[in-house]
Amino acid sequence: MPLLGPDEPAPFETVREHGRSPWVLLCDHASRRIPRSLSDLGLSEEARSSHIAWDIGARGVSLRLSEALDAPLVACGYSRLVIDANRPLGVASSIPAVSCEIPVPGNVGLTAEDEAERARAIFMPYHAEVERLLAMRTARKQPSVLLSMHSFTPELYGKQRPWHVGVLSGKDRRLAEVLLAELAKENDWTVGDNEPYRVSDVSDYAVPVHGEQAGRLAVLIELRQDLVATPVMEQAMADRWLPILERALPSLL
Ligand SMILES: [Zn+2]
């Protein structure tokens, strides 16, 4: 049975695909939507609204940055609990049976076909869209500098996280170093350098695959969720990043 009904939203959302900015925004965890065929994955409304299902505020900030920068944005249309767009296929956290100690009943006992259908319906078309957009820009000789936009919960396993924002990088530190130097001027922010997470080939997809392996500059940006909890806060966060990104750009091109 197909995962998505004919009346359900597409697996990705592309905004300003012809945007002129060198920045390209990706939002892997933009949505908490679960396909109807999965019966809410057996989760409570509380769990489905929480940070385990999506990156609260990340899509809102990304849309506002896309508009302010005239930058394209590709956002995934379904929850990371259905299939995580920022994990390689086949790793345990790709279709998590447990997320932050909360069991996900609808992800237990899946057949190989079930897993393949999640990839076919959501993961593959989302990343194919990112590839299409980036290839189109390359053909037009437009540079692409990737920002993979995420958000993190202010408290995890009873521990408060001090960072306001984080810049996560893998093997290629070039873009991270430039952004961190600009972020150091924001005196009221505690900035994480590879905090609260770091990028790796097993725990990430967009930065290693669309960035490093393709020779493109890329980082993953983490925003603390209590700072982007309302539309007004999303706008304020985008307004803070705009000059930072504009100052960083000349040394990147
Ligand atoms: Zn995320």
Domains, the chain, ranges and CATH?
12-251 (3.40.630.40)
Ligand 1 mean position to 123 CA, how many Å?
14
* Under 8 Å between Cβ of 71 and 19: yes
Residues 136-158 have a mean pLDDT of 95
Q: Is pLDDT above 80 for 119?
A: yes
pLDDT band of residue 158 (cuts 50, 70, 90) is: confident
Ligand 1 mean position to 222 CA, how many Å?
8
Which residues neighbour 51 within 8 Å (Cβ) at sequence distance 6 or greater?
100, 151, 152, 153, 225
CA-to-CA separations, 123 to 59, 101, 166, 169, in angstroms, rounded: 17, 24, 25, 22
Q: Is pLDDT above 80 for 89?
A: yes
What pTM did the predictor assign?
Answer: 0.96
Ligand 1 mean position to 14 CA, how many Å?
18
Ligand 1 mean position to 170 CA, how many Å?
16
Handedness of CA 243, 59, 164, 210 (dihedral sign): negative
Ligand 1 mean position to 252 CA, how many Å?
25
Say what the pLDDT of residue 29 is: 98
Structure tokens at 241: 């990043």
Ligand 1 mean position to 204 CA, how many Å?
10
Ligand 1 mean position to 8 CA, how many Å?
23
pLDDT digits (tens, 9 = 90+) for 162-190: 999 999 999 999 999 999 999 999 999 99
- For residue 35, cis peptide bond before it (omega within 30 degrees of 0): no
Q: Is pLDDT above 80 for 1?
A: no
Segment among 46-55, 81-90, 150-159 with least mean pLDDT: 150-159
- List the beta strands (DSSP E) in the chain: 12-15, 23-27, 73-76, 98-99, 102-103, 145-152, 155-156, 159-160, 165-168, 191-193, 218-224
Say what the pLDDT of residue 19 is: 98
- % the chain with pLDDT above 70: 100
Ligand 1 mean position to 151 CA, how many Å?
6
Average pLDDT, the chain: 96
